[in-house]
Every structure is written in structure tokens, then in C-alpha cells.
Structure 1
Amino acid sequence: MIELAESYLGNITENASLSERLEKAGFKEHCLEVYLSQADSRKGRIHSRATSGVDVGIVKNRDWLLREGDIFETQNGKLLLIHLQEQKVMVLSFTELINDSSLKRLRDRDINLVHLGHVLGNHHWPIIIEDGKIYVELVIDTEVIEATIRNFSIPGLEIDYEWRSLKEHTHHHHHS
């Protein structure tokens, strides 16, 4: 039998009463936990298996992403806690300082950076800008994203990779 979750209750990091409700409910009998990929967090219909082995179906609107700590209530009255798995992301950083003495080089790099931002947005590649770095979610083939970025030949731009959870900081570009 599948537990169907359609009623979104909120997020435990933003709602203290929901967090208390989760604790009071008792995990063993009334709560389910699932670990989802970042790709699953976008889907409108998600099939997963809870840590307890129970099959779970989640139905939500596609125009919002599931986040770490989201809580649903199943049709059978159980609480469902969402966890997001870490994923490999591309990290863009700069080895050259911005106070480069060559103004022409700075202008060229600034123009290329604006163009890069435009291209990332047009491709709908989710990004986070944090601590002077740009984190790009690898939603398509790594080689395609890397080739696209390297095509700009931005001086001092380094491409690296790391594992992290993008959580709710991801920027998504929507067209009306």
C-alpha cells in the first residue's frame, strides 16, 4: 500500500509549532521520512520509499521546489518529513583580484560576466551566489555546462566541483 501525501503543512525550520507537532507525533508510528534528489524536488508527482520501507507518493505543484524540512500529511494522517540529498555542483571562483590595474581587461571581464549570467539564466541552470563563488547545479551533462562557461574565456575564472546541498538558496529564473 502506498502512502499518498498531498497536504503541505509547512517547513520545520520556519514553523516552530510544526516542529513541535512532529516531535509529539512520535516518529515510529505516525511519521515517515524520505530522502529525495534535487531533481525529484522539482517534480509534481514523486514516488519514493520512506526510510521505514513504506512506498510514498507526493503530489505537489511543479512551480515550487521541495526543501529540506518540508512536512506533508498523508491521506492516512501520517506526517512526512522531506530530506534532500547532497549533490555534486560546479563551483565558479576567481583567482585574479578585481582591483586589476588594467581597466580595459576589467571592462572586458565585466561584460563577459554579465553575458555569462544571462546565459546561465536563459538555460535555466539553477545557481547560488555565496561567499564570492557561483555554485551551478548540474542539471545537464557536466561537459556541456563547462564548455559553455569556458567559451567566455573569462580571465581568472576557475571551475571546480564539490558536494553540497543547495537547499532553499537556489535561484530559479521564471518566464511569464
Structure 2
Amino acid sequence: MININSILGNIFKENNSENNNLEKLKISRVDLEKRILRKKTNLGTDVGINLDSNTKLKHGDIIGNEEVKIIVEQITEKVISVKLKQNNEKIGILLGHIIGNRHRPIAIKDKMILFPIQEDSELEIFQRLFKEIIDSIELEIQEEIFLPHTSADVHEH
């Protein structure tokens, strides 16, 4: 087993052609929040992670030792994307209020608000919650790597 106590770098911050030879460690967004974790890489390497309390793994982080280098890959998850049909401040405020009351982390991407869901049936719940503004927005379920906006430290319920 490889014991990991620190992060060596991040593939998105470093321009390194050797990154193609790295083992891959697929981790959910929820598990990325944990500082103590045990997983296996795509090649079967057993990895024990024990990070300092102020350190969190992120998509693209490189971990390992002299013998083995591993890239952390966040697993995709289901999200609802919400797009305003037209730029309307009132609708945007109501949208933020409704999502905020559900204590969901959000991401803002390409003029859309994204938030994670567990099941497709949650789309119906949000369609009902957004009933007053439903004609002013477009809702869609997507599967992607969800990277929450960093300005709000929200814990899902």
C-alpha cells in the first residue's frame, strides 16, 4: 500500500508531458472532501490517504511517491442545469433563493447555474419549486464533473 500525506501538484496547473503515464484514482466529489481515505487505482495499487485538516484533494491533483505517480480524477455526477431564457434580475434572485433554501452547492458555467442531484426524479421536484418562474428558465439534467463555486462553503443535507 502507498501512503499519501501530501499533494505533489495538479495536472491543470503544470505543463508536464509525463502525465500520460500516471495511474488513475477515481474519486467522487463527496469523497474528495474527506482527508482520510483508502482506494485502489485503475491498475490496482492500494492507496491510503491521510491529509492535513486544511488540505483537500481536487480533480487533477497528482499524488504518489518516487515509484508511483497517481492522478486524482473526480467522478462525474448528475446535475441540474438552470438557464435563464432572458436576462432578468428578479428571476435570478428568486432562482438563487429557491436553490439556496435547498442547501445545494452551485456552480456557474456558461451562463448556467448547476447543482448536484441524486436521482432524475429530483427534476420534477425542482420544476414544482420553480413553478412561478418555470416559463422563464430552462431545466436539464446533465452528467459532468461538478466543481462547486468556491465562495460559499455549503454542506449538502
Q: TM-score, normalised by structure 2?
A: 0.74
Give the corresponding residue for 2:113. 134
Give the corresponding residue for 1:159. 139
1:91 to 67, 81, 88: 81
CA contact (8 A) 1:42 1:64 kept: no
Give the corresponding residue for 1:6. 5
CA contact (8 A) 1:4 1:58 kept: yes
Distance 2:108 2:43 in 1: 36
1:66 to 57, 62, 69: 57
Indicate whether 1:171 and 2:115 are aligned: no
Shift of the alpha carbon at 1:53? 0.9
User: CA 1:62–1:43 in 2, change beyond 3 Å: closer, same or farther?
Assistant: farther
Give the corresponding residue for 2:128. 150
User: CA 1:41–1:158 in 2, change beyond 3 Å: closer, same or farther?
Assistant: same
Write the letter of the residue equivalent to 1:52. Answer: L
Write the letter of the residue equivalent to 2:105. Answer: P
Distance 1:116 1:63 in 2: 32
Could you say what secondary structure the match of 2:29 adopts?
coil
Shift of the alpha carbon at 1:62? 6.0
> Sequence identity of aligned pairs in percent?
25
Distance 2:73 2:79 in 1: 18
Cα deviation digits, residues 57-116 of structure 1 (max 9, x gap): 222356665322201234x75322111122111111234x34xxxxxxx6xx71x53243
In the TM superposition, 1:115-130 aligns within 5 A as: 115-121=94-100, 123-130=102-109
Query: Which consecutive unaligned segments of at least 5 residues does structure 1 have?
Result: 99-105
- For the pair shown, the structure with the greater C-alpha radius of gyration is 1
Indicate whether 1:32 and 2:23 are aligned: yes
User: CA 1:171–1:113 in 2, change beyond 3 Å: closer, same or farther?
Assistant: same
Shift of the alpha carbon at 1:135? 1.1
Distance 1:137 1:64 in 2: 23
RMSD: 3.1
Cα deviation digits, residues 5-39 of structure 1 (max 9, x gap): 111122121123xx35xx29x94xxx532111222
CA contact (8 A) 1:91 1:160 kept: yes
Give the corresponding residue for 1:44. 35
User: CA 1:11–1:136 in 2, change beyond 3 Å: closer, same or farther?
Assistant: same
Higher helix share: 1
Distance 1:89 1:48 in 2: 25
Write the letter of the residue equivalent to 2:2. Answer: E
CA contact (8 A) 1:44 1:62 kept: yes
